[in-house]
Amino acid sequence: MKTIIEPFRIKSVEPIRMTSRAEREEYLKRAHWNLFSLSARDVIIDLLTDSGTGAMSSEQWAAIMRGDESYAGSPSYYRFETAVREIYGIEHVIPTHQGRAAEHLLFQIYGGEGRVIPNNTHFDTTRANAEKSGATALDFPCAESLDTESDFPFKGNMDLEALRACLDSNGEAVPLVMVTMTNNAGGGQPVSLSNLKAVRKLCDQYEVPLFIDACRFAENAYLIKLSEAGQEGRELKDIALEIFSMADGCTMSAKKDGMVNIGGFIAVRDPDLARELRERLVVTEGFSTYGGMAGRDLDAVAQGLHEVLREDYQEYRHASITYVVDRLHQRGIPVVIPAGGHAVFIDAKRFYPKIPWSKFPGQALAIELYLEGGIRSCEIGSLMLGGTDEESGAAIPAARELVRLAIPRRTYTQSHMDYVVEVIESVWKGRDLIGGVEIVQAPRVLRHFTGQFRRLPNSRAPQAAHALPH
Ligand SMILES: *Cc1c(COP(=O)(O)O)cnc(C)c1O
In a domain, 387, yes or no: yes
| 229/93 same-domain check | yes
Cβ-contact 25, 467 below 8 angstroms: no
Backbone angles phi, psi at 444, to 5 degrees: -70, -35
| 275/377 same-domain check | no
In a domain, 126, yes or no: yes
How much distance in Å is there from the Cα of 310 to the middle of ligand 1? 22
Residue 260 above 90 pLDDT?
Answer: yes
For residue 51, which atom of ligand 1 is closest to its CA? 1
Residue 464 above 50 pLDDT?
Answer: no
Give the per-residue pLDDT at 434. Answer: 95
Q: Measured between alpha carbons, how far is 183 from 207 in angstroms, rounded to an integer?
A: 24
| 218/321 same-domain check | no
pLDDT band at 445 (very low <50, low <70, confident <90, very high): confident
| 233/357 same-domain check | no
Residue 465 above 50 pLDDT?
Answer: no
Query: Ligand 1 pocket test: which of 50, 100, 342 has the largest number of ligand atoms within 8 Å of its C-beta?
Result: 100
Pocket of ligand 1 from Cβ distances under 6 Å: 51, 98-100, 123, 125-126, 180, 184, 213, 215, 253, 255-256, 264
Q: pLDDT: is 60 or 448 the higher one? A: 60
For residue 98, which atom of ligand 1 is closest to its CA? 7
pLDDT, one tens digit per residue, over 427-437 is: 999 999 999 99
Amino acid identity of residue 246, one-letter, is M
Looking up residue 375, the CATH number of its domain turns out to be 3.90.1150.10
Residue 185 above 80 pLDDT?
Answer: no
Among the candidates 241, 276, 307, a domain finishes at: 307
How much distance in Å is there from the Cα of 214 to the middle of ligand 1? 9
pLDDT, one tens digit per residue, over 85-97 is: 999 999 999 999 9
Q: Measured between alpha carbons, how far is 220 from 429 in angstroms, rounded to an integer?
A: 34
Give the end-to-end CA distance of the chain in Å, rounded to a whole number: 51
In a domain, 15, yes or no: no
Amino acid identity of residue 267, one-letter, is A
pLDDT band at 460 (very low <50, low <70, confident <90, very high): low
Give the per-residue pLDDT at 417. Answer: 97
* Strands (E) located in 241-374: 249-253, 264-268, 343-347
Give the per-residue pLDDT at 103. Answer: 97
Give the per-residue pLDDT at 231. Answer: 97
Give the per-residue pLDDT at 385. Answer: 83
Query: Ligand 1 pocket test: which of 117, 139, 180, 184 has the largest number of ligand atoms within 8 Å of its C-beta?
Result: 184
* Residue 453, strand partner residues: 439
Cβ-contact 190, 154 below 8 angstroms: yes
Looking up residue 117, the CATH number of its domain turns out to be 3.40.640.10
| 286/375 same-domain check | no
Helix 99-110 and helix 124-132: axis angle, to 10°?
Answer: 30
Q: Is residue 158 helix, strand or coil?
A: strand
| 192/260 same-domain check | yes
Q: How many CA atoms lie within 13 Å of 431's alpha carbon, on the beta-carbon side?
A: 20
How much distance in Å is there from the Cα of 288 to the middle of ligand 1? 21
Q: Measured between alpha carbons, how far is 322 from 126 in angstroms, rounded to an integer?
A: 28
Cis peptide before 175 (omega within 30 of 0): no
Give the per-residue pLDDT at 461. Answer: 54
| 339/272 same-domain check | no
Percent of the chain with pLDDT over 90: 87
How much distance in Å is there from the Cα of 216 to the middle of ligand 1? 9
Cβ-contact 134, 115 below 8 angstroms: yes
Cβ-contact 93, 249 below 8 angstroms: no
How much distance in Å is there from the Cα of 252 to the middle of ligand 1? 7
Give the per-residue pLDDT at 394. Answer: 86
How much distance in Å is there from the Cα of 250 to the middle of ligand 1? 12
Question: 136 burial class (0-12, 13-18, 19+ CB within 10 angstroms)?
Answer: middle
pLDDT band at 331 (very low <50, low <70, confident <90, very high): very high
In a domain, 1, yes or no: no
| 44/125 same-domain check | no
Question: 10 burial class (0-12, 13-18, 19+ CB within 10 angstroms)?
Answer: exposed
pLDDT, one tens digit per residue, over 15-32 is: 999 999 999 999 999 999
| 176/81 same-domain check | yes
Q: For residues 116-121, give the mean pLDDT.
A: 96
H/E run at residue 364: helix 361-373
Q: For residues 196-209, give the mean pLDDT.
A: 98
Report the C-alpha dihedral over residues 330, 149, 325, 229, rounded to 10 degrees: 110
Give the per-residue pLDDT at 395. Answer: 86
Give the per-residue pLDDT at 160. Answer: 98
Instruction: Name the residue with the closest Cα to ligand 1, atom 1.
Output: 253
Q: Measured between alpha carbons, how far is 333 from 427 in angstroms, rounded to an integer?
A: 10
How much distance in Å is there from the Cα of 120 to the middle of ligand 1? 15
CA–CA distance from 200 to each of 70, 143, 194, 465 (Å)? 39, 20, 10, 56
How many distinct structural domains can be found in the chain? 2
Query: Ligand 1 pocket test: which of 215, 250, 407, 409 has the largest number of ligand atoms within 8 Å of its C-beta?
Result: 215
How much distance in Å is there from the Cα of 213 to the middle of ligand 1? 8
pLDDT band at 468 (very low <50, low <70, confident <90, very high): low
H/E run at residue 22: helix 21-30
Q: How many Cβ atoms sit within 10 Å of the Cβ of residue 113?
A: 8
In a domain, 7, yes or no: no
Question: Which spans in 207-253 are helix H?
Answer: 217-227, 236-245
Give the per-residue pLDDT at 420. Answer: 98
Cβ-contact 46, 408 below 8 angstroms: yes
Q: Measured between alpha carbons, how far is 203 from 196 in angstroms, rounded to an integer?
A: 10
Residue 57 above 80 pLDDT?
Answer: yes
pLDDT band at 470 (very low <50, low <70, confident <90, very high): very low
In sequence order, the 6+-apart residues with CB closer than 8 A to the CB of 367 are 28, 33, 35, 437, 455
Give the per-residue pLDDT at 292. Answer: 93
Backbone angles phi, psi at 186, to 5 degrees: -95, 25
Instruction: Name the residue with the closest Cα to ligand 1, atom 12.
Output: 123
Mean pLDDT across the chain, nearest whole number?
Answer: 94
Query: Ligand 1 pocket test: which of 103, 256, 261, 301 has the largest number of ligand atoms within 8 Å of its C-beta?
Result: 256
Return the percent helix, strand and coil in the chain, to nearest 5. Answer: 45, 15, 40
Q: For residues 66-87, give the mean pLDDT.
A: 98
How much distance in Å is there from the Cα of 431 to the middle of ligand 1? 33
| 140/248 same-domain check | yes
How much distance in Å is there from the Cα of 343 to the middle of ligand 1? 15
Among the candidates 245, 275, 307, a domain finishes at: 307
With left for phi above 0 and alpha for psi between -120 and 50, is residue 374 left, alpha or beta?
left
Give the per-residue pLDDT at 469. Answer: 47
For residue 180, which atom of ligand 1 is closest to its CA? 13
| 342/242 same-domain check | no
Q: Measured between alpha carbons, how far is 79 from 242 in angstroms, rounded to an integer?
A: 22
In a domain, 12, yes or no: no
Q: For residues 372-377, give the mean pLDDT.
A: 98
How much distance in Å is there from the Cα of 427 to the middle of ligand 1? 31
Give the per-residue pLDDT at 459. Answer: 67
Domain assignment of residue 318, given as a range: 21-50+311-465
H/E run at residue 302: helix 295-307
* Strands (E) located in 273-363: 343-347
* Strands (E) located in 234-327: 249-253, 264-268
Residue 137 above 70 pLDDT?
Answer: yes
| 333/418 same-domain check | yes
Cβ-contact 254, 304 below 8 angstroms: yes
In a domain, 452, yes or no: yes
Q: pLDDT: is 11 or 391 the higher one? A: 11
Select, from the ranges 88-92, 148-152, 336-340, the one with the highest average predicted confidence (pLDDT).
88-92
In a domain, 152, yes or no: yes
Instruction: Name the residue with the closest Cα to ligand 1, atom 3.
Output: 99
Percent of the chain with pLDDT over 70: 97
For residue 264, which atom of ligand 1 is closest to its CA? 7
Among the candidates 291, 307, 323, a domain finishes at: 307
pLDDT band at 150 (very low <50, low <70, confident <90, very high): confident
Nearest Cα neighbor of 92 from 102, 84, 103 is: 84
Cβ-contact 378, 406 below 8 angstroms: yes
pLDDT, one tens digit per residue, over 390-415 is: 788 888 898 889 999 999 999 999 99
For residue 101, which atom of ligand 1 is closest to its CA? 9
